[in-house]
Structure 1
Amino acid sequence: MAEIFSVDEAFDRTRFEGACCAFGVFDGVHKGHEALISCAIEDSKKRGSASFALTFDLDPDEMFRPGELKKLMTNEDRIRALAASGADFVAVLPFTREFASLSPEDFLASTFGELAPASIHVGEGFRFGARAKGTEETLIEWGSRHSCSVTPHELLCLEGAPVSATRIRGLLSTGNVEEATKLLGRPWKVRGTVVSGRGEGAQMGIRTANLSIPDEFRAVGDGVYAAYVHVDGKRYKAAVNMGVAATFADRSTANCEAHLLDFDGNIYGCEIEVEFIAWLRPMRVFDDVDELIATIMSNIEWVREHL
């Protein structure tokens, strides 16, 4: 695992001297991000220097588009994933309103100080500085004055289109978790604390772990999914209802309900992780409880046979 640094006033910016940096937000740390970071790592090996994954402590859109962004992972998970990406170090820039208001030139001076890295690798369309005025060309021009090689990379293409966090969010929003998995390199996950539910599941003999997921982390669309749920280091097959159950919409207390197969523990108040594997069906209103139970049991059987 890479060592993680906060690039604050106490950070020794001479660490960047001679280094090769992959610079980006990296929400999701998907296949495209991994390819970009690999370019910086390979560059550092040729130069005999250190490699950095350089990012922010939060996604800038959290500041500028609050309530609109669907995040693929928490900032803490994103930074941990970057630490496992193969880079030697992860440098985290505190993204404040003051920092965001800096001109592109001041943005770079604040980030690197007097000593620029040997190289910076960014994705196509990279923007930075106040009002996103800094472009690839701005960065290249700055690099030429500071003996820093700047390389903008075309986005990695998979399944016929560029890999991006926006594309992955689009797939998840329509329930296409299988395609999203290919682009992420792993299934999409969400974590939450188990809360008390409505109680109907237990009455029907189908107990569920109920989670209230904040809107910003509800990247996956409403529906029923086959999933794995991680509890205390163990993984269980699960049928998961994501979204407010239409049949009980007037008294719902959770927006993610997971029935864990072959599990009978008490996990109220525990944090669990849901790993989405396959989409099973859309949400719908059932004519009666018998039809609802029959459909749920069919979903559970699919999970048992296919996962």
Structure 2
Amino acid sequence: MMRNSNFVALILTHGRPDNVRTVKTLRKCGYTGDVIIVLDNEDKTINQYREIYENTYVFDKKEIASRIDEGDNFNDRRAIIYARNASFEIAKEKGYRYFIELDDDYTEFSYTYNQCGEMEQRSIFNLDKVFDILIDFKNKTGALAVALAQRGDFVGGKHNNIVRGELLKRKAMNSFICDTDMPFKFFGKINEDVNTYTLLGSRGKLFFQIPHVSLNQVTTQQSKGGMTDIYLDSGTYVKSFYTVMYAPSCTKIRLMGTVYRRLHHSISWNNAVPKVIPESCKK
């Protein structure tokens, strides 16, 4: 069991009650704590979720929308930003201090390195301990959020910059370990994770990706429901430009990929976040 008993896993989902893979994956990987399925009141499949899952929570999507910066005036609420922001209130209302926000389509949680420091993906079977350690890290660094890496972050093998030694990234995507005593807002209807860690990061707030542990998930746009519909409607061009709006001093749009090229955001970290001045510069 976890040392932090005041911790809960929140699974943010919409429109796919028969395909919430993350619940089984959490249990398979050794998480024994509480799980809440987070739904919005515009989901037409709420009753189906309730028939399958014991612990669900339905929040008012329009009400949450009225209190956040969506970054547009499209009146289209098919996005995860509302659940992300509602999660702080849900966890606090239910009596938890710490929580992790998870998508509903994870198939594996894994270690990235072996005991010799070599890259070797191995399944996690003691996720309780991993979450405890990540909470400890968050508290010691004062970070607003810490996230697991995604397997796509390691594309390139030994030439990948994470493998070359840049172990700690100033970003948090997809999964977020947060503290209700340190709330923050997500910005922008789409690309909300990148919008948030670039905008708040530029103000000196800390977001970290922990590369030693990672998650695997279903490929974007390959699973019905969730965010798939809005991604298919707008494409990565619109998605990426939300971040340019929020952080124009450090982001731009570029082509990404080798075979199937697509537009994607690119962050200049030299311009993105404040840096610690070396002690040698002290007068």
TM-score past 0.5 threshold: no
TM-score interval (norm. to shorter): under 0.3
Query: TM-score, normalised to structure 2's length?
Result: 0.27
Query: TM-score, normalised to structure 1's length?
Result: 0.25
Instruction: Compare CA radii of gyration and give the structure with the larger one.
Output: 1
